[in-house]
A and B are shown apart, each in its own frame.
Chain A
Amino acid sequence: MIEDIAIESRGTIKLSAPDCTSCMLCVRECPVWCIEIDSHTEQVTPEGARRPRSVAVLDAFTIDWGLCMYCGICVEVCPFDALAWAPSPRGGVGEAEQLVAGIEDLSG
């Protein structure tokens, strides 16, 4: 879980990828449709377990900062606290496509 930060500090949104279960709640609640998730399920058998269980594996998670309006709904709806505000705002970019941030960028 990412550390709690005062809500005034809406610099950027951070993703803690290991906590994300690909539940899609943030994607479906985002009013401007700027979060996209690509994921698949895998069968894993934990040691000692009798039957395999399926777990979601996150393949891609992007936020398009060109569309995001910093409303914070995604942060609020995430049941696993995988999204959180971070205080430092993002730097500028040269091309519009660079506003689409992936897992690595969002986790940094």
Chain B
Amino acid sequence: MTIAANSVEITQQIEWISAEQWRDSLASAHRQGWVCLDVLTAIDRPEQREFHVVLHANRVDSALGQWWGVVVPQHDAELASLVDVFKAAAWHERETREMFGITFTGNVVSHDPTAQGLLLSDEAPVTPLRKHVPLGARVDTPWPGNADPDPRRSASRRRQAPPGTRPEWFETGDGQ
């Protein structure tokens, strides 16, 4: 198989599953040969007030991989754990809980308040992959795009937010 460096196409589709069906559908996929859990993580969708939890699994009898996804509302960020389907889910769910604040029902560690720090230190911000949580380096570093060679142009220029930032990071207050 040859893949041109500039033309990798993401052709894989995500198979969306309801939160109620999440565990059973993945158990069924596992029985059908999708036995190797590759990754499980989440995407914060603050505008929709939801998370997308996504999972990628591979087969061992072929080179195929497949994505599954589920929408989890942020006001009730809880999802059935897959630890009894994929053992490896224990780690990924714990990481996803730490980074996004999603609880995985049935993942023992995910419920254990003493097992907080898997990857983050005590000083790290809570749920750092939530988009409202400022990225420290981006807030502290002056953006090179603020410079302008022509002061007149600078005055009339429409202010553009620095790439990779969100306006709420720069609001005064606690930023939450």
Chain A, Cβ-Cβ closest to B4:
A8
B144 located at the interface, meaning its Cβ lies under 8 Å from any Cβ of chain A in the complex: yes
As a 0/1 sequence over residues 123 to 166 of chain B, the CB contacts with chain A under 8 angstroms (1 = contact) are: 00000000000000000010111011110000000001011100
By secondary structure, the A interface counts as mixed
Cα–Cα, bound, A7→B8 (Å): 13
A38 located at the interface, meaning its Cβ lies under 8 Å from any Cβ of chain B in the complex: yes
Knowing A8-B4, A8-B6, A33-B143 are in contact, say whether A22-B163 is a contact too (CB < 8 A).
no
Question: Which of A24-32, A44-52, A96-104 lies at the binding interface?
Answer: A24-32
Chain B residues within 8 Å of A40, by CB: 149
Decide: B5 and A27 in contact? CB cutoff 8 A. no
A37 located at the interface, meaning its Cβ lies under 8 Å from any Cβ of chain B in the complex: yes
Chain B residues within 8 Å of A39, by CB: 149
5 A-B residue pairs with Cβ-Cβ distance under 8 Å, sorted by A, are A8-B4, A8-B6, A24-B147, A33-B162, A37-B144
Binding site for B on A (CB under 8 A): 7-8, 10, 22, 24, 27-33, 35-41, 54, 56-57
Binding site for A on B (CB under 8 A): 4-6, 141, 143-145, 147-150, 160, 162-164
